[in-house]
A and B are shown apart, each in its own frame.
Chain A
Amino acid sequence: MAATQEEIVAGLAEIVNEIAGIPVEDVQTDKSFTDDLDVDSLSMVEVVVAAEERFDVKIPDDDVKNLKTVGDATEYILKHQS
């Protein structure tokens, strides 16, 4: 079953918390992964792969660089989840 927008944001918050140790409540749609959430380019790869597993989507390397904010990632997953 496809996840809703709220479920995706909540899921991403848990993933970012696990990988970068950022409190779940700080992970909001307007937050930038690198500038606000301490997720550098390599941690981002880890976030992406965890999200792929959790939401059953494929996020190719070329698309990763367009996912600047939590909102970008949420939208991408909403559109591509199977």
Chain B
Amino acid sequence: MSKIKPSKGAPYARILGVGGYRPTRVVPNEVILEKIDSSDEWIRSRSGIETRHWASPEETVAAMSVEASGKAIADAGIDAQQIGAVVVSTVSHFAQTPAIATAIADQLGTDKAAAFDISAGCAGFGYGLTLAKGMIVEGSAEYVLVIGVERLSDLTDLEDRATAFLFGDGAGAVVVGPSKEPAIGPTVWGSEGDKSETIKQTVSWDRFAAEGHTKFPAITQEGQAVFRWAVFEMAKVAQQALDAAGITSDDLDVFIPHQANVRIIDSMVKTLKLPEHVTVARDIRTTGNTSAASIPLAMERLLATGEAKSGDTALVIGFGAGLVYAATVVTLP
């Protein structure tokens, strides 16, 4: 048996930079009301959403990703050529092959970085971050770009009262790199496939093509079941992530949950008994639910507005279709 030389990575990993891209078109609730029987008041009180962004034909999954990534790379103060891997989490890129990550890696000017897509719904950012941390500590990449990007407006049935108002488009990206200190805690993650029917695509692509459906596939959900699961099970997972990082909510500066619904966020804050001093991301109000993009977009906004600052300790938790979830404590870039 030959002896194989082991790889050598960094002692720890950290988020070094963050960037976001929000499409130019801002869509207020009034536009949603053209197609469903509802009201601005109902939408605000049940979801917290006032406006969301919808992408134009030019604001493609790749174009939005490149914009967000460019900002994240500049924020990290590195060169695109130093990036060893590009991980893209999305459910709304409409070609299965090849992965969109390769085109993004190329357009960013990376030096043949490894590039692939993952499908982990609204937990995609946490899944990507966990992969990135592993690659850096294991030594297969020095810097990893993690992108969450969605054009959920393409998968929204504007006549469905339960989802028409919920979704938005955008891209968020972070650069993860080496660190001397631990700056990304243990990930508490998992899946509950017995609940796979609670959030799903109305009709699969093959059935859509074969059965002559008139309506394009869209995301549909059992709202109350998802709400119940998110509020109660995810608060437990968030607490486990704090425990795993060896801190309590008193040590926390910022809470950035997946921006699914402001009512889920408020309820989690209550259940976790987060102290007053913790800044809570409520980017959903003006961004809607952007699935995998929501956490990096919210992170970027909190840092840009000064509500959070570099070096703050943040709890991030994503959860959604699968059902899947991932929570971890990070030091903000």
Contact between B267 and A46 (Cβ–Cβ < 8 Å)? Answer: yes
Q: Is the interface of B mostly helix, strand, loop or mixed?
A: helix
Given known pairs A49-B231, A49-B232, the reply for A42 and B225 (CB within 8 Å) is no
Nearest opposing residue in chain A for B264, CB measure: A42
A40 at the interface (CB under 8 A from B): yes
A61 at the interface (CB under 8 A from B): yes
Nearest opposing residue in chain A for B45, CB measure: A40
Proximity string of chain B (220-231) to chain A, C-beta cutoff 8 Å, 1 when within and 0 when not? 001011011001
Nearest opposing residue in chain B for A43, CB measure: B263
A45 at the interface (CB under 8 A from B): yes
Contact between A49 and B228 (Cβ–Cβ < 8 Å)? Answer: yes
Nearest opposing residue in chain B for A44, CB measure: B224
Tell me which residues across on chain A come within 8 A of B228, comparing CB atoms: 45, 48-49, 61
Contact between B232 and A42 (Cβ–Cβ < 8 Å)? Answer: no
Contact between B224 and A64 (Cβ–Cβ < 8 Å)? Answer: yes
Nearest opposing residue in chain A for B46, CB measure: A42
Q: Which of A41, A46, A61, A64 is within 8 Å of B231, CB to CB?
A: A46
Within 8 A of B (CB), among A30-82: 40-42, 45-46, 48-49, 61, 64
B316: shortest Cβ distance to chain A, in Å?
A: 23
Contact between A45 and B227 (Cβ–Cβ < 8 Å)? Answer: yes
| B contacts with A, residue count (CB < 8 A) | 11
Within 8 A of B (CB), among A11-46: 40-42, 45-46
Tell me which residues across on chain B come within 8 A of A48, comparing CB atoms: 228
Tell me which residues across on chain B come within 8 A of A49, comparing CB atoms: 228, 231-232
A14: shortest Cβ distance to chain B, in Å?
A: 15
Nearest opposing residue in chain A for B228, CB measure: A45
B26: shortest Cβ distance to chain A, in Å?
A: 26
Nearest opposing residue in chain B for A48, CB measure: B228
Contact between B224 and A45 (Cβ–Cβ < 8 Å)? Answer: yes
Nearest opposing residue in chain A for B267, CB measure: A46
Write 15 A-B pairs (CB below 8 A) sorted by A numbering: A42-B46, A42-B263, A45-B224, A45-B227, A45-B231, A46-B231, A46-B267, A48-B228, A49-B228, A49-B231, A49-B232, A61-B222, A61-B225, A61-B228, A64-B224
